[in-house]
């Protein structure tokens, strides 16, 4: 039942998201990103003999140090690949931390050293590799050479990674953004799951009075703050906000965006005291260590939460981001896929393809759901009783979803437009600018770079 639902949801929701101009990109979500430097590592007990055809895969987490369950699953894939193809192929892993990943990947691409395969989010980030010619067109491989593999993917899963009919990446998993909450703290504070923004504020007030931090959020990693801002923008004005602002039909300083930014500032009084400097990892740790009652994150956080504190799973609930009374549809959800891109200049196409196929085989996809708690992208049979408890909670939420959007900052006209939005929301949070003033900076960027005639 659940598998059929997820398949149907993806087919509809991903299409809706793509029609809304929604996408996710840049340094958003997916791994713990524990290493600050770019490193090349081997994985597992198999070492290269020098006779193998060697390829590189670039990822945003240190596979040898991570506690993130998604990353651990990826490490298992690399280990299996090097074992299965011993003497024929060998994969070296290039890693960096999450926040520095786009910059360091771009440097490799620019210098002509593009990894054979690299992970990428959909949206403007993938678009830049497509438009620059760095990403290989996989359409013929999927539809003609590997049609059985292609047919095993969930319907609709390629919508956001297809350009002019050309499939430019391979998805590895699917995630949705929700509010994770500590059921013990909620009980001690005497609060119920909030369904509206006003109820959320009231719950935060009671939680703070009970001696707990209501919400853990990272403004040091701007996309975390921007995700909350994006939900507020969408709850205020719905999909028309995104479509119209990108088309120049409404201004960034219009009431709908100002109201959303004002609510972000209002809500931020309930963040932890260190939110301005905390990273994504630190903010997530505040939650799974029991210091904060709520965390707004994607379902990829399940792997990080349960990987670092397995006992926390029993008291980790999930609810959808609340509605704004008098606002737009409250049943829209932020979603994304992790994706693999093959370099257009790779000299090891067959080896790279073999690696990409292993990331989506039944073993890897069962692990994705049953251990890591993310939604698989293939029609693999899943034992949902083995999956993390939060996985079932998210599936229940998905049953009511009417549409999707990407991370708001990365659903905009370009990566630079998203960065400008991020900076504006951080300014609002820090009190460096009033909502109207901060949004004027986004307006100025659009006037100069997007709406210019």
Domain ranges for the chain, please list them. 23-175+336-381, 177-333+406-449
Is residue 415's pLDDT more than 90?
no
User: What's the pLDDT score for residue 351?
Assistant: 98
Is residue 266's pLDDT more than 90?
yes
Residue whose token pair is 């990674």: 161
Compute the mean pLDDT over every residue in the chain, rounded to the nearest whole number.
89
For residues 421 and 409, the answer to whether their CB atoms sit within 8 Å is yes
Closest CA to 237 of 327, 324, 323: 327
Q: Measured between alpha carbons, how far is 150 from 162 in angstroms, rounded to an integer?
A: 14
For residues 403 and 320, the answer to whether their CB atoms sit within 8 Å is no
User: What's the pLDDT score for residue 408?
Assistant: 87
For residues 217 and 272, the answer to whether their CB atoms sit within 8 Å is yes
Q: What is the CATH number of domain 177-333+406-449?
A: 3.40.190.10
Q: Measured between alpha carbons, how far is 29 from 221 in angstroms, rounded to an integer?
A: 10
Strands (E) located in 23-86: 39-41, 53-59
25/376: higher pLDDT: 376
User: 107: burial class by Cβ within 10 Å (0-12, 13-18, 19+)?
Assistant: exposed
Is residue 332's pLDDT more than 60?
yes
User: What's the pLDDT score for residue 384?
Assistant: 81
Domains 23-175+336-381 and 177-333+406-449 share a fold: yes
Give the percent of the chain with pLDDT over 90.
Answer: 75
Q: What is the CATH number of domain 23-175+336-381?
A: 3.40.190.10
Q: Measured between alpha carbons, how far is 64 from 53 in angstroms, rounded to an integer?
A: 23
For residues 230 and 407, the answer to whether their CB atoms sit within 8 Å is yes
List, in sequence order, every residue forming a beta bridge with 403; answer none if it has no partner: 332
Tens of pLDDT, residue by residue over 124-136, are: 889 999 999 999 9
Predicted structure pTM score: 0.81
Is residue 6's pLDDT more than 70?
no
**Region for 390 from its dihedrals, namely left if φ exceeds 0, alpha if ψ lies in -120 to 50, beta otherwise:** alpha
- The one-character DSSP state at 52 is S
E strand or H helix that includes residue 294: strand 292-298
For residues 258 and 236, the answer to whether their CB atoms sit within 8 Å is no
Tens of pLDDT, residue by residue over 220-234, are: 999 999 999 999 999
Closest CA to 37 of 82, 87, 101, 92: 101
Tens of pLDDT, residue by residue over 74-109, are: 999 999 999 999 999 999 999 998 889 999 999 999
At residue 121, what are phi and psi to the nearest 5 degrees? -90, 155
The three state secondary structure string of 157-189 is CCHHHEECCEECCEEEEEEEEEEEEEHHHHHHH
R_g over Cα of the chain: 21
Q: Measured between alpha carbons, how far is 395 from 413 in angstroms, rounded to an integer?
A: 31
Is residue 248's pLDDT more than 50?
yes
Is residue 36's pLDDT more than 70?
no
Q: Measured between alpha carbons, how far is 24 from 408 in angstroms, rounded to an integer?
A: 8
Asked which of 157-166, 334-343, 381-390 is least confident by mean pLDDT, the reply is: 381-390
Tens of pLDDT, residue by residue over 149-202, are: 999 999 989 988 999 999 999 999 988 999 999 999 999 999 999 999 999 999
Closest CA to 127 of 158, 157, 163, 99: 163
User: What's the pLDDT score for residue 453?
Assistant: 53
Long-range CB contacts for residues 137-144, cutoff 8 Å, separation at least 24: 137/166, 137/167, 137/168, 137/344, 138/166, 138/167, 138/168, 138/169, 138/170, 138/342, 139/165, 139/166, 139/167, 141/353, 142/167, 143/167
**Side-chain-facing half-sphere of 25: CA atoms under 13 Å:** 26
Q: How confident is the model at residue 27 (pLDDT cuts 50, 70, 90)?
A: very low
Beta strand 292-298 pairing with 170-182: antiparallel
**Region for 21 from its dihedrals, namely left if φ exceeds 0, alpha if ψ lies in -120 to 50, beta otherwise:** left
């Amino acid at each position: 039942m659940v598998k059929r639902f997820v398949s149907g949801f993806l087919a509809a929701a991903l299409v809706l998201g793509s029609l809304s101009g929604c996408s996710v990109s840049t340094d958003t979500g997916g791994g713990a990103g524990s290493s600050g430097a770019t490193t090349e590592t081997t994985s597992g007990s198999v070492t290269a003999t020098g006779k193998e055809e060697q390829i590189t895969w670039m990822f945003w987490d240190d596979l040898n140090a991570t506690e993130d369950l998604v990353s651990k699953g990826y490490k298992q894939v690399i280990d299996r690949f090097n074992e299965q193809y011993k003497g024929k192929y060998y994969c070296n892993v290039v890693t960096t931390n999450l926040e520095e990943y786009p910059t360091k990947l771009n440097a490799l691409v620019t210098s002509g050293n593009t990894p054979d395969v690299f992970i990428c989010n959909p949206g403007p980030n993938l678009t830049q590799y497509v438009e620059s010619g760095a990403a290989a067109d996989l359409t013929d491989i999927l539809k003609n050479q590997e049609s059985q593999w292609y047919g095993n993917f969930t319907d609709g899963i390629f919508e956001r990674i297809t350009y002019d009919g050309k499939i430019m990446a391979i998805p590895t998993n699917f995630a949705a953004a929700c509010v994770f909450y500590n059921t013990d703290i909620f009980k001690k504070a005497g609060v119920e799951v909030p369904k509206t923004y006003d109820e959320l504020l009231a719950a935060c007030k009671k939680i703070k009075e009970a001696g707990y931090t209501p919400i853990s959020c990272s403004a040091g990693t701007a996309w975390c703050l921007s995700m909350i801002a994006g939900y507020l923008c969408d709850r205020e004005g719905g999909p028309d906000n995104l479509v119209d602002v990108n088309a120049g039909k409404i201004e960034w300083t219009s009431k709908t965006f100002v109201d959303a930014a004002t609510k972000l500032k209002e809500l931020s009084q309930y963040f932890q005291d260190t939110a301005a400097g905390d990273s994504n990892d630190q903010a997530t740790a505040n939650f799974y260590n029991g210091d904060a009652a709520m965390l707004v994150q994607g379902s990829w956080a399940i792997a990080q939460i349960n990987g670092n504190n397995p006992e926390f799973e029993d008291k980790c609930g999930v609810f959808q981001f609340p509605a704004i009374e008098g606002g737009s549809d409250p049943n829209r959800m932020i979603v994304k896929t992790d994706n693999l891109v093959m370099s257009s200049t790779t000299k090891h196409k067959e080896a790279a393809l073999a690696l990409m196929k292993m990331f989506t085989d039944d073993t890897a996809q069962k692990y994705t759901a049953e251990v890591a708690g993310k939604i698989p992208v293939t029609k693999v049979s899943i034992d949902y009783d083995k999956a993390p408890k939060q996985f079932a909670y998210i599936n229940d939420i998905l049953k009511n979803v009417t549409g999707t959007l990407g991370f708001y900052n990365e659903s905009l006209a370009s990566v630079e437009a998203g960065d400008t939005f991020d900076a504006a929301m951080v300014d609002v949070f820090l009190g460096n600018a009033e909502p109207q003033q901060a949004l004027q900076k986004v307006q100025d960027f659009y006037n100069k770079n997007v709406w210019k005639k």
